[in-house]
Structure 1
Amino acid sequence: MTDDDEALATALLIEGFPAKPADIWAAFFRRLRILGTNGPADVPFGYLMDTAGITTGVMMTPATLRDRPDGSKGTVINLSSWYVQPPERWRAGRMLQAVLKKHDAMFTDLTPTDEVRAMLPAFGFEAINAGVVVSLLPVAAVLPAGGARVRSMLPGDAALPDATRTILEAHVRAGCLAFVLEGDGPAMPLLFRKRTLKGVPAAKLIYCPDLARFQAALPAVARGLMTSGVGVLISDDTSAPLRTGQLKRSRGLKFVRSGAGFAPVPNVTDHTASELALLDL
């Protein structure tokens, strides 16, 4: 997909996801450009599938470079907003296989449909969560927070490593909320994307490098998010014990295919440079 293909891709996305507002896709492309991570990763914004000269499928591919454990960099690609027109849907597996062969990368699929979810294990994907946890922030906020406190990330925030701050600042420019958890340990970055849940202002957890510490500091996190008008938090269910004000829901399964020296890391949420960070889902 090139810049010249954006209108064609948008038309297919509107056709494939009629329940979503049409302007969500223009915002998606705009935020991908603001984020600016696909270029350094040498991955296009997406791929189109042609059948006999007619474009019949689209798959968006937000991507980024991340540090491997040895300090080198590798590619992580999010497979997003995948649509194939019904008469050609039997070719969907071929389209997926073609994209997987294009790049040496770890691939994620964070919002698969039931049909896609059924086919992912055959392509080497594994589930990384058991569903989602919904946290009712006004309830969590009244619990003791110990020494934990949460504040908004500042421009040029000296408490965070340069590389972490840079990627979080790019996400803030793309519409995310960035906070810093302090106390009971070194400063820890947190990233969220606002949304609504049944009409209630909510947020999704996009990035957290230590979920155990996050869960322990939930009251402080709740207070910080409530200052931004958020009443409900949605995060991945990683089977940690629930706290007061939290409940589990068996939906929102997310999948990863390891590669390029990357594999899912327990106790970490990292959905940066993905549809969850860029789309108002």
Structure 2
Amino acid sequence: MQLDRQCSQPAPAAKLRVREIVEQDLVAIAELLARGFPFRSTEYWLRGLQRQTRRPRPRGYPAFGYCLDKAGAPVGVILLLFSEVLAGGEPVIRCNVSSWYVQPEYRPFASLLVRSATRDKSVTYFNITPAPHTWSTVEAQGFSVYCKGQVYGALAMSRAAPDASVELFSEENASRLTSYEADLLRQHAAFGCLSVVVREGRNCHPFVFQRHRVKNLVPVYRLIYCRDIGDLRRFAGNLGRFLAWRGGLLVRFDANCPVPGMVGWYSEKRGRKYAKGPKPPQLGDLAFTEAAIFDS
């Protein structure tokens, strides 16, 4: 989320309207977001938006979110990534409230976007990248913290679970997962994530990781999805050795406190996440969010 602190004279409200983003807007939206997030290129945004066009999405919800429109041109944007997921075995509509930017001269009307974005009380909205200077604003909008920070763990230094092995997701082991989990791993592999399963006897446990580098130096795998965060602790040694062979020295995952017995460090300086709605995400579930769709 991005809102510059600078202010300028407000533009006349009569010339503005809030509308859904459509595919014809995507180049202009990508260019607008690149202005708001100068550390991200137009190509980065366009690649993620194009992935969004190809993935299955729940009907009746915006495909990309909303824009603040002036004479047919977007001057503000709030990206919304809607998904139908399973929570406790029940289907839930949730929405990752992603990147938010409004050109400075139209900043006084940014609240119009927010009101349009989060008004459906049956949807769980969540924000996984709130900048620290926006935390109070996010809380004023009715969001609550569901994740306080994150752990960088050296999983390979943990004890491996006996009789458990890690393998890349394939159609062969898909039959040992639920259809929802198999499809989730399949889609995230298509995004460029690393989808794997831990096989233990006749059971398979799904995981999705995303590879990146911290400060362009230290190779790290970020946990995007697991069935239960306890599975990550249980199979830490197995997963850590598997990922180390693929260049991942550390694994980054959401947490609310340090993990006993795991080598690594916990920090609340980054990683805070907010949600509002009936079913906040569980720790370890960032499936179909900007982290997977845009950053992979």
Q: TM-score, normalised by structure 2?
A: 0.83
**Aligned counterparts of 2:50 and 2:73: Cα–Cα separation in 1:** 26
Quote the residue 2:18 is aligned against. Answer: none
Superposed displacement of residue 108, structure 1: 1.0
Residue 171 of structure 2 aligns to a residue in which SS? coil
Matches within 5 A, 1:98-177: 98-101=116-119, 104-136=122-154, 140-147=155-162, 148-156=164-172, 157-177=174-194
C-alpha contact (below 8 Å) 1:145/1:217 kept by paired residues: yes
Q: Which of 4, 25, 28 is the equivalent residue of 1:8?
A: 28
Residue 233 of structure 2 aligns to a residue in which SS? helix
C-alpha contact (below 8 Å) 1:41/1:75 kept by paired residues: no
Q: TM-score, normalised by structure 1?
A: 0.87
C-alpha contact (below 8 Å) 1:49/1:58 kept by paired residues: yes
Quote the residue 1:28 is aligned against. Answer: 48
Against the structure 1 CA distance between its residues 53 and 103, is the aligned structure 2 distance closer, same or farther, given a 3 Å change threshold? farther
What amino acid does structure 1 have at the position aligned with 2:205? Answer: M
Quote the residue 2:292 is aligned against. Answer: 277
C-alpha contact (below 8 Å) 1:133/1:236 kept by paired residues: yes
| 1:249 corresponds to 2:286 | no
| Number of residue pairs the alignment of both structures matches | 272
Matches within 5 A, 1:172-251: 172-183=189-200, 186-198=203-215, 199-250=217-268, 251=270
Superposed displacement of residue 67, structure 1: 3.0
- In structure 1, stretches of 5+ residues that fail to align are none
Superposed displacement of residue 52, structure 1: 7.1
Quote the residue 1:263 is aligned against. Answer: 280
**Aligned counterparts of 2:170 and 2:89: Cα–Cα separation in 1:** 29
Residue 257 of structure 2 aligns to a residue in which SS? coil
Residue 101 of structure 1 aligns to a residue in which SS? coil
C-alpha contact (below 8 Å) 1:143/1:219 kept by paired residues: yes
Quote the residue 1:91 is aligned against. Answer: 109
Post-superposition Cα deviations, 1:241-279, rounded to whole Å, max 9, x if no partner, equal 3434310122121111123xx2344xx421111101112
Superposed displacement of residue 43, structure 1: 2.7
Superposed displacement of residue 166, structure 1: 0.9
Higher relative contact order (CA 8 A, sep 6+): 1
**Aligned counterparts of 1:158 and 1:227: Cα–Cα separation in 2:** 26
Bigger mean CA offset, 245-254 vs 112-121: 112-121
C-alpha contact (below 8 Å) 1:41/1:65 kept by paired residues: no
Post-superposition Cα deviations, 1:172-215, rounded to whole Å, max 9, x if no partner, equal 11111111123389321011111111212222111112112311
Q: Which of 79, 82, 98 is the equivalent residue of 1:63?
A: 82
What fraction of aligned residue pairs are identical, expressed as a percent? 24
Residue 27 of structure 2 aligns to a residue in which SS? helix
What amino acid does structure 2 have at the position aligned with 1:145? Answer: A
What amino acid does structure 2 have at the position aligned with 1:143? Answer: S
**Aligned counterparts of 2:239 and 2:111: Cα–Cα separation in 1:** 41
Residue 20 of structure 1 aligns to a residue in which SS? coil
**How well do the aligned residues superpose, as a CA RMSD in angstroms?**
2.3
Superposed displacement of residue 238, structure 1: 2.6
Bigger mean CA offset, 238-247 vs 93-102: 238-247
Superposed displacement of residue 20, structure 1: 1.6
- In structure 2, stretches of 5+ residues that fail to align are 1-20
